């Protein structure tokens, strides 16, 4: 599969197949991959041997991947993702830039100290690209509104000084 650019609002995203992921071990933690692979196998109700049969990959290789002893090549990775019915990226939790520190969804909202009308928002969860783009739009609109408010406040302060 070749690269293709998908546009959702103003945010272009490049979709790829496994051959275009950076598979360097420094970026992919084999153990994290193994845990993710085991999760997907179990969620399908399969055993490792079922995945081996569905992909024509040796049972020993599947076992090595699950235990984090080795990492599959791009063909094996594509084959496993297809057999499990998931995108390749679902098997590669650390392949994306700035990967999440943990795979546990978190949503935290705290009032900013000393600013009753401001809050800190912390999010660590997977969502659709369209939803993520809407959130980015809301944050940008909020930033612009706060900037306009700050500028108006400065103008008012200047007017009072004169």
Residue 123's H or E segment, with its range, is strand 119-124
φ and ψ at residue 13, rounded to 5 degrees: -135, 135
Q: Are residues 27 and 85 in the same domain?
A: yes
DSSP code at position 115: -
pLDDT tens-digit profile of 8-30? Answer: 344 344 444 444 444 443 334 77
Count of the separate structural domains present in the chain: 2
* 33: number of Cβ within 10 Å: 24
The answer to the question of residue 10 being in a domain is yes
Predicted TM-score of the model (pTM): 0.45
Q: Which of 4-8, 82-86, 128-132 has the lowest mean pLDDT?
A: 4-8
Write the burial class of residue 157 (CB in 10 Å: 0-12 exposed, 13-18 middle, 19+ buried).
exposed
Q: Are residues 63 and 8 in the same domain?
A: yes
């Amino acid at each position: 599969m070749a690269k293709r650019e998908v546009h959702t609002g103003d945010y272009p995203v490049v979709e790829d197949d496994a051959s275009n992921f950076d598979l360097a071990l420094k970026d992919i933690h084999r153990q994290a991959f193994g845990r993710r692979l085991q999760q997907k196998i179990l969620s399908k109700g399969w055993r490792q041997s079922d995945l081996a049969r569905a992909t024509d990959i040796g049972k020993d290789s599947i076992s090595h991947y699950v235990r984090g002893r080795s990492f599959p090549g791009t063909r094996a990775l594509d084959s496993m993702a297809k057999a499990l019915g998931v995108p390749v990226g679902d098997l590669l939790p650390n392949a994306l830039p700035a990967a999440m520190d943990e795979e546990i969804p978190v949503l935290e909202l705290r009032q900013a100290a000393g600013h009753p009308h401001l809050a800190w928002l912390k999010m660590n969860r997977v969502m659709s690209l369209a939803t993520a783009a809407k959130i980015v739009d809301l944050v940008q609109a909020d930033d612009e509104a706060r900037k306009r408010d700050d500028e108006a406040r400065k103008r008012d302060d200047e007017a009072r000084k004169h």
